[in-house]
């Protein structure tokens, strides 16, 4: 039976960069999740009888939330609700399945790279029929609805078994529990030459993939070990845990430190990679080298043709604004389009749909292509493996060769986590005022050429996204970018992005932090970071 339950609005259900993220106890309040899910459906039209894909990254509260989401979806008139076994399905696999089934949309239960567990984070994201994150017009409508909502509809059917493949009827909906890997694996086989990668592993090539106890474990076991022949044990931390083993499921040098240290040690395998909570991020390492995500995007774009899915080349490459300009040098050389969008994968959707871009990337360990509408961690690893299988040189030489051809964009991101909200607001406001006076000023050898608050005009639908980050650009192409995170749940996170270009003939082997030291010092001074936040140093450096 369908019950209509009276409810009161919560004031804080505004989706951020990637869905709604809150602490688990916030989501556990009676009506909190229910209100948000009902508000999503209230903001959509035409889904009666259609399919909804529901996935999760296995974090704490995932299993309970799946039951609630499915019962509200059934009560609201969806005809088919497709769920990954155990409630597990990576963000890229949800995107792939929405597209494959021609589903109306999907709901992803994840706070991505944020920690999990009873005191950790939980999150909800809505994806549209193209498979990508809902655009801002929809997330704004959802937020508006959360402030008005008075009731939600839910089926009173008993809980169904999410651990057994098969289907059950609830109200007028069929709930299907499917294997979360099958269709995704099929899609990967259409893009990559699995036999070529198998031959690479057969030649003795070694790899470690760290799933960080998050959602990619089952995918990595099935694809790298079973399909491609990587040695058993190549995948580590491959069982999803509700608290990710107590760690941040965030693939970067700080939170995937074991892998990072191994790859820079004498015991390193040929290749290393890690992915995040929901499987859309990737960190790439070769023996003796950590590949900056912005470089990885550029290298993948430059070498894309080795994979059958991209044998005809790329239409264009889109990168988020704070991502380094390394990929721009590749698009320029290839004579293809390049785009600069605000942070967040939702801004790539229109470019991919319109066929303007084939690859997209963000400095935050996100890379993907038009095969789906999300970034895709396993995809990036498969493309790297394809390049290594084709070129048969160490990963470090692929990177060095790239720098010698295109030059190197020395690049780093400094995060100041959990700073005071007011202090962060004040800092950004002051920077916003400074952009008018900075141009023309010199700081040592650095002369400011231009400064602005990034505004994006979507070339496809004309929509405008403003206040997307303060950019300070220097003569010679160096740059500092400031923005506040839209995915954190405690206080504010200030992100600083620092970049300097070195041409192919210059010194390409410097230490990144050392070579950027002047810019780093200036970035702190310009924003008055220590004075305003009390922080002397960042919490995370990537």
Q: Is 331 in the site for ligand VG1 (CB under 6 A)?
A: no
Q: Which of 18, 39, 90, 327 binds ligand VG1 (CB under 6 A)?
A: 18
Q: Does 205 bind ligand VG1 (CB under 6 A)?
A: no
42, 121, 171, 276: which one binds Co ion (CB under 5 A): 276
Residue with Cβ nearer ligand VG1 (18 or 292): 18
Instruction: Mark whether 112 is an active-site residue.
Output: yes
Instruction: Tell me which stretch binds Co ion (CB under 5 A): 221-229, 277-285, 443-451, 507-515.
Output: 277-285
CA distance linking residue 377 with residue 270, whole number of Å: 18
Output the residue with the shortest Cβ distance to Co ion: 112
Question: Residue 282's binding partner, choosing from ligand VG1, Co ion, none, with beta-carbon cut-off 5 to 8 A by kind?
Answer: none
Quick check: 303 and 297 in contact, CB under 8 A? no
Position closest to ligand VG1 via CB: 112
Report the partner that residue 17 touches, choosing among ligand VG1, Co ion, none (CB closer than 5 to 8 A by kind).
ligand VG1
CB of 290 to Co ion, least distance (A): 19
C-alpha 529, offset from chain centre: 27
Is there a contact between 55 and 83 (Cβ–Cβ < 8 Å)?
yes
Q: At what angle do helices 326-334 and 293-303 cross, to 10 degrees?
A: 10
Contacts of 48 (CB under 8 A, 6+ apart): 77, 78, 79
Q: Give the angle subtended at the CA of 471 by the CAs of 469 and 472, to the nearest 5°.
A: 155
For residue 252, the partner it binds in ligand VG1, Co ion, none, with Cβ less than 5 to 8 A by kind, is: none
User: Which of the ranges 46-54, 178-186, 273-281, 311-319 carries the binding residues for ligand VG1, by CB under 6 A?
Assistant: 273-281
SS3 2: strand
Asked if 378 and 220 count as a contact pair (C-beta separation under 8 A), the reply is yes
**Please, which of residues 109-168 interact with ligand VG1 by CB under 6 A?**
112-113
- Exposed e or buried b for every residue in 279-308, given b needs 16+ CB within 10 A? bbbbbbbbbebbbbbbbbbbbbbbbbbbbe
362 binds Co ion (CB under 5 A): no
Q: Are 124 and 14 in contact (CB under 8 A)?
A: no
Nearer to ligand VG1, 18 or 39 (CB): 18
Per partner kind, with CB cut-offs from 5 to 8 A, the member of ligand VG1, Co ion, none near residue 343 is: ligand VG1
Using rule CB under 6 A, residue 344 touches ligand VG1: yes
Q: Does 280 bind Co ion (CB under 5 A)?
A: yes
Question: At its nearest, how many Å lie between ligand VG1 and the CB of residue 144?
Answer: 21
Among all chains, which residue has been given the structure tokens 């690479």? Answer: 200
- Which residues are registered as beta bridge partners of 425? none
Residue of 39, 216, 234, 487 interacting with ligand VG1 (CB under 6 A): 487
**Cβ atoms within 10 Å, residue 259:** 24
Task: Report d(CA 154, CA 149) in Å as an integer.
Answer: 14
Q: How far is the CB of 57 from Co ion (least distance, A)?
A: 8
Q: In what order do the strands lie in the sheet with 442-443?
A: 442-443, 446-453, 470-474, 479-484, 492-502, 408-419, 540-541
In this chain, which of 319, 414, 495, 500 binds ligand VG1, going by CB under 6 A? 495
Regarding 346 and contact with ligand VG1 (CB under 6 A), the answer is: no
State the binding partner of 18 from ligand VG1, Co ion, none, CB within 5 to 8 A by kind. ligand VG1
Token pair in block for residue 522: 């200036």
- Residue 402 in the binding site for ligand VG1 (CB under 6 A): no
Site for Co ion in 93-132 (CB under 5 A): 112
Identify the helix (H) or strand (E) that includes residue 84: strand 80-84
345 is a contact residue toward ligand VG1 (CB under 6 A): yes
d(CA 151, CA 34): 9
| 411 binds ligand VG1, rule: CB under 6 A | no
Backbone angles phi and psi of 324, in degrees to 5 = -65, 165
Q: How far is CA 420 from the centre of its chain?
A: 25
Residue 303 in contact with ligand VG1, rule: CB under 6 A: no
Among candidate residues 112, 155, 275, 369, the one labeled active-site is 112
Site size toward ligand VG1, by CB under 6 A: 18
- Nearest distance from C-beta of residue 114 to ligand VG1, angstroms: 7
Which residue, 71 or 471, is less far from ligand VG1 as judged by CB? 471
Residues near ligand VG1 (CB under 6 A): 17-18, 112-113, 276, 280-281, 320, 343-345, 362, 364, 366, 485-487, 495
Q: Catalytic residue positions?
A: 112
């Amino acid at each position: 039976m369908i019950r209509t339950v009276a409810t009161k609005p919560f004031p804080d259900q505004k989706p951020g960069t990637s869905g709604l993220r809150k602490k688990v106890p916030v989501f556990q309040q009676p009506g909190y999740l229910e209100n948000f899910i009902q508000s999503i459906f209230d903001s959509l039209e035409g889904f009666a009888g259609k399919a909804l894909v529901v996935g999760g990254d296995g974090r704490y509260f995932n299993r309970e939330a799946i039951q609630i989401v499915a019962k509200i979806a059934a009560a609201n008139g969806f005809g088919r609700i497709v769920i990954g076994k155990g409630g597990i399905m990576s963000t890229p696999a949800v995107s792939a399945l929405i597209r494959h089934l021609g589903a109306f949309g999907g709901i992803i239960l994840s706070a991505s790279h944020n920690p999990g567990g009873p005191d950790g984070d939980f999150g909800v994201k809505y994806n549209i029929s193209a498979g990508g994150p809902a655009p801002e017009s929809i997330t704004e409508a959802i937020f508006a609805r959360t402030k008005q909502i008075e009731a939600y509809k839910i089926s009173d059917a008993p809980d169904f078994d999410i651990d057994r493949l098969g289907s059950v009827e609830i109200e007028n909906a069929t709930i299907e529990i499917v294997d979360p890997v099958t269709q995704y694996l099929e899609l990967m086989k259409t893009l990559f030459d699995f036999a070529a990668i198998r031959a690479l592993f057969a030649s003795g090539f070694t790899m470690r993939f760290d799933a960080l106890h998050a959602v990619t474990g089952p995918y990595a076991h099935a694809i790298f070990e079973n399909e491609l022949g990587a040695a058993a044990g190549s995948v580590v931390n491959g069982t999803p845990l509700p608290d990710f083993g107590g760690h941040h499921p965030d693939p970067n040098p700080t939170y995937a430190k074991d892998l990072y240290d191994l790859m820079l040690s004498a015991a390193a395998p040929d290749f290393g990679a890690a992915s995040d909570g929901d499987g859309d991020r990737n960190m790439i390492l070769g023996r003796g080298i950590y590949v900056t995500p912005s470089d990885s995007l550029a290298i993948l774009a430059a070498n894309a043709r080795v994979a059958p899915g991209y044998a005809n080349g790329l239409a264009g490459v889109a990168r988020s604004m704070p991502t380094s300009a390394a990929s721009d040098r590749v698009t320029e050389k290839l004579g293809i389009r390049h785009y600069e969008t605000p942070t967040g994968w939702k801004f790539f959707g229109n470019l991919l749909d319109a066929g303007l871009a084939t690859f997209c990337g963000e400095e935050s360990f996100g890379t993907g292509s038009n095969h789906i509408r999300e970034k895709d961690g396993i995809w990036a690893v498969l493309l790297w493996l394809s390049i290594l299988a084709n070129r048969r040189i160490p990963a470090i030489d692929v990177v060095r060769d790239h720098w010698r051809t295109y030059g190197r964009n020395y690049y780093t991101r400094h995060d100041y986590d959990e700073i005071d909200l007011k202090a962060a607001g004040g800092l950004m406001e002051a920077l916003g005022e400074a952009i008018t006076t900075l141009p023309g000023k010199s700081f040592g050898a650095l002369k400011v050429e231009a400064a602005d608050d990034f505004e994006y005009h979507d070339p496809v639908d004309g929509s405008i996204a403003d206040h997307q980050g303060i950019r300070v650009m220097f003569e010679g192409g160096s740059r500092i970018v400031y923005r506040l995170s839209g995915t954190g749940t405690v206080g504010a996170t200030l992100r600083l992005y620092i970049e300097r270009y070195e041409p192919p003939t210059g010194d390409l082997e410097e230490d990144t932090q050392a070579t950027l030291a002047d810019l780093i010092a200036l970035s702190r001074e310009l924003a008055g970071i220590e004075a305003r936040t009390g922080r002397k140093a960042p919490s995370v450096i990537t």
